[in-house]
Structure 1
Amino acid sequence: MGPRPSALCKQAAAVLAAALLVVGSAGCTGEPRPPDPAPTEPDRSAAFALLEAFSDRMIGEGAPAVLIDVRYGGKAWTHAAGVRNLETREPATASDPVRVGGITESLVAVSVLKLVAEGKLGLDDPVSRYLPEFGSVLHPPGPVTARQLLTHESGLPDFTDPLLASGPWEQVTARRVSLEQQLALAATVPWEPRLARIFNYSRTNYAALALIIERLRGQDIAQVLATDTARPLDLGATRLGGPGLPGMVHGYVTVAGARLDASTPEWQAEAPSSGAVSTLPEVNRFYAALLKGELLPPDSVTAMKGGYLEYYGFALRRWNNTCNNRFYYGLPGDTDGYGTIAMTSEDGRTQLAMAVAYPPEPPTLGVNPLISELTDVSQDALNHLC
């Protein structure tokens, strides 16, 4: 006959008490609890592999050089392939100067917004208030404001169409074209009236803005950009106009079967739409400072970003940032011989700038389709960094 239930209960209680004693003793005298494992670093190799593969393809298709500068989590990743110059074959580096094309417009927009913050310029004032000759030269179909110039919603014709159609590329691009001449060239193209404001890119918009800046500052646009942005941020290679910089990456075009150097086109010496030279580290430093509020008051930075549903603010485009469901801001830059893209997260901490000296091809009045590829691969790579 087995033990009675009461005896079984007593035995179970004794076993449990002994077990608790052992556990308690181990807790006092045993090894300490191991620490939680440290968080692992995200694998960002896919982002860099995307960029390297794109670079390899561009070089394989005849691009003289590809430069990339990435900033993330307080770190930097850079890449350079190809050469600075097809004649000397000197290897390119990631910090070599390049022509940055339309990124120039972001620099100009900062100078415009500084005037607005100082109360010297009203965004919704008619342009003719600051440029009395605007109406008599261009004959706009209706009032045009500085805001419409900034957002490319004025409908102003692009002066480069008649300029580049006026003669052989090598002759046309060797001529210096002043801001006043840029407006005069635009005046030779009919200004089509529009029922609604829509985005219609025209380099003449920024020629008019640069003239306004010059009138209000009493300095030429290159000096103003240096004062407002380059010197405060110590951007020693960033400038509008002037001779080519040492170590500059040369871009090329092919005209009538001949390869021509496009690195120092005189017509862009005073082109506030596309004439700046910079390095990718300096381009990233500029956009980080801008988005962190180091160049403009917060409301001006917000205005530059544009509304939530707007494609293009004040010289800032935006792309989806899937890391935090927000946006990257920056601009693409497309010009003869060069394509550049810059994207920066809203907090200024995650950035990518890439420049390609295009495979030498005939110049076009339109946009080189490679700029879309630069943009897509850059956005994809940034979204692999999180």
Structure 2
Amino acid sequence: MSSTLDPDELQAALDAVHRAGVPGVFAEAREGAQIWRGAAGVADLATGRPATPDLRHRVGSVTKTFTAAVVLQLVEAGEIGLDTPIGHYLPRLVPGERGAAITVAMLINHTSGLAEYLPHAYPSLATFPDLAKTTPKSLDDNRFTRWGQVELIELGVAAPAVGAPGKPPGVYSNTNYLLLCQLMESVTATSAEKFITRNDIERAGLRHTELPTGPEIDGPHSQHYESWFGMIDPPRDYSVYDMSWVGPAASLISTVSDLNRFFDLLLAGEIIGHSMLERMQRTVAVISFEGKTIDYGLGLHRFEIPGRGTFWGHDGSVWGGGAITLTSADRSRQACVALNLQRWNTLTPSGRPQPHAIDDAFAALQRSLTGARPELPQL
């Protein structure tokens, strides 16, 4: 079978995302032994420095796959039980009936019913996801705020439940993953950052990936431009930001090449064993922050790509930065792309995001990167 990595097509798709309004976009696609890397636009609007495919970038909730993988390693080692209540391990953080009802697996696949802490930690986002009633003020106010994980977990646990434990659809929540980090630390007597670094990042040989300890991104990187639905105009750079507000739930810095390498090894059964990988790929319906229903396993999304079938991966965003990584079920095709603009859609009077040219261009880019057939025009 000949490769469908067409450099001209892939570069044109990147260029279209840039022309639609994203300052910089960079990607890598792999098919068999062939690798294509490309970029379009700029990494820094102030200087005009071009985007390049080797840039380091904050990848948001792609981090969750890394976190889930090390928890599953501990399950394989017999140190954690997937179906054991979290209250058995962390009774002070999730006490009483909830602690007895919520299992470790429910935290990993977001069916715990625990609320997201973000609106409670960021006052001007207190009505999130009711976007029309939010403002971006908290983003600036908390740029250098140092949050404690327990502090954030307590906010999420104290908030009204968003569902019954174990009952789909689940509701996406960073509270779940900070609890997993506390669980990891209680079992290993090692910080979650160090444990993930040793057992994921170093194990996979990722040379440009790290969980940051400060607000800066070390090494060559893009700026991160946040629009917050048109309320920040022009979009503001948040590449310098204290990421303790998400910690090892969403703070990873990586490159498109490193992410492709990690997900290839993961799906090959080299990060966790094949039986645990099969459990990781059992999905349930989960409601995302954007209100969309996604197929979510134990730290993995399942994506159905028209004309290409099932892909596994994760997406993520932070203030101004985003990424998505996709690996076909047979590992024959991989794609990873990063953007340095987030929440570009403006809002209708009712508070719903309006369609933007970036949406279509980015969807077309993902089709090209995964080798999917172009969508036919409707007659």
TM range (shorter): 0.7 to 0.9
Structure 1 residue 270, shift from structure 2 partner? 5.2
What is the letter of the counterpart of residue 330 of structure 2?
D
Paired residues for 1:194-213 under 5 Å:
194=164, 196-213=167-184
Aligned residues: 343
What is the letter of the counterpart of residue 219 of structure 1?
T
8 Å Cα contact 1:128/1:135 also seen in 2: yes
Partner of 2:11: 52
Structure 1 residue 330, shift from structure 2 partner? 0.3
Partner of 1:120: 79
8 Å Cα contact 1:140/1:191 also seen in 2: no
Supply the distance in 2 between the matched residues of 1:132 and 1:379 (Cα, whole angstroms).
Answer: 46
Supply the distance in 2 between the matched residues of 1:368 and 1:123 (Cα, whole angstroms).
Answer: 41
Partner of 2:196: 225
Residue 2 (structure 2) pairs with residue 41 (structure 1): yes
Supply the distance in 1 between the matched residues of 2:320 and 2:252 (Cα, whole angstroms).
Answer: 14
Cα deviations across residues 145-185 of structure 1 (Å, max 9, x unaligned)?
Answer: 11000111111110111122256321123212221011122
Residue 341 (structure 2) pairs with residue 358 (structure 1): yes
Cα deviations across residues 209-234 of structure 1 (Å, max 9, x unaligned)?
Answer: 01101111111111011111111222
Paired residues for 1:1-386 under 5 Å:
41=2, 44-45=5-6, 49=9, 51-136=10-95, 140=98, 143-165=101-123, 168-194=138-164, 196-242=167-213, 243-254=216-227, 257=233, 259-268=235-244, 271-306=247-282, 311-320=295-304, 326-358=309-341, 374=362, 377-379=365-367, 381-384=369-372
Supply the distance in 2 between the matched residues of 1:126 and 1:160 (Cα, whole angstroms).
Answer: 24
TM-score, length basis structure 2: 0.80
Supply the distance in 2 between the matched residues of 1:278 and 1:353 (Cα, whole angstroms).
Answer: 11
Supply the distance in 1 between the matched residues of 2:352 and 2:148 (Cα, whole angstroms).
Answer: 22
What is the letter of the counterpart of residue 256 of structure 2?
L
SS at match of 2:304: strand
Structure 1 residue 43, shift from structure 2 partner? 5.3
Structure 1 residue 379, shift from structure 2 partner? 4.2
8 Å Cα contact 2:70/2:199 also seen in 1: yes
Once structures 1 and 2 are overlaid, which stretch shifts more, 339-348 or 93-102? 339-348
SS at match of 1:295: coil
8 Å Cα contact 2:113/2:163 also seen in 1: yes
Once structures 1 and 2 are overlaid, which stretch shifts more, 144-153 or 345-354? 345-354
Supply the distance in 1 between the matched residues of 2:192 and 2:46 (Cα, whole angstroms).
Answer: 33
What is the letter of the counterpart of residue 69 of structure 2?
V
SS at match of 1:223: helix
8 Å Cα contact 2:153/2:178 also seen in 1: yes
TM-score, length basis structure 1: 0.79
Question: Structure 1 stretches of 5 or more lacking a match?
Answer: 1-39
Structure 1 residues 273 and 363, CA gap change in structure 2 (3 angstroms) = farther
Structure 1 residue 308, shift from structure 2 partner? 9.4
Structure 1 residue 384, shift from structure 2 partner? 3.5
Cα RMSD (Å) of the superposition? 3.2
Cα deviations across residues 224-268 of structure 1 (Å, max 9, x unaligned)?
Answer: 111111112221221112331211111112465464321132144
Supply the distance in 1 between the matched residues of 2:265 and 2:118 (Cα, whole angstroms).
Answer: 31
SS at match of 2:170: coil
